[in-house]
Amino acid sequence: MSILADLQKRASSKCELCSAEGELAVYEVPPESNGTADQCVLLCPTCSTQIDNPEQVDANHWRCLNDSMWSQIPAVQVMAYRMLSQLSAEGWPQDLLDMLYLDDDNLAWAKAGLPSEDDVVHRDCNGAILAAGDSVTLIKDLNVKGANFTAKRGTAVRGISLVQDNPEHIEGRVNDQRIVILTKFVKKN
């Protein structure tokens, strides 16, 4: 029997996280999946896409974790823990995380797939991840202290650089001046 068939039987042909039906695929739970059904989950395209692309996460879609986090399948518990951790700033996921219990091995597996606290992630006002070299647009007029000018809303800032120790700051050139800009005042182009 194939892994897909095993997972379809285990999950009653439904996504193991949100219970959606149709177009389900095997998702190997990183980082150390050996390809067995015990270390895989059956996911719908919506869950799979949002897991692989954190900038596209719709927090309301993940309210389904309120039910799926109680699964007896360790791989499902691990994925629920990771998504709740990723969304914990929303408020309600933190409440669910506080209730979720994982044994030591599964907790270690779940944490191994999360970005470490040392990884600084810069996000724009919409939550999109910023990278060095990206172009952004100012969403608010900003008074630039020490340079005596105002960076106007709608100004494009090209080739930004990231401030490594602060996820709320980026640097870019406006009016031929290199300035520090708060990420909450920019939108990725």
Q: Which long-range contacts (CB under 8 A, 24 or more apart) does 79-82 make?
A: 79/16, 79/17, 79/27, 79/29, 79/41, 79/51, 80/17, 81/107, 81/110, 82/51, 82/110, 82/113, 82/114
Domains of the chain: which residue ranges?
3-112, 122-188
CATH topology of domain 122-188: SH3 type barrels. (2.30.30)
Rounded-to-integer distance, Cα 47 and Cα 41, Å = 11
Per-residue pLDDT tens over the stretch 50-108: 998 887 889 999 999 999 999 999 999 999 999 998 888 788 898 999 999 999 999 99
Whole-number average pLDDT of the chain: 90
Hey, what amino acid is at 15? C
Per-residue pLDDT tens over the stretch 124-153: 999 888 988 999 999 999 998 888 899 999
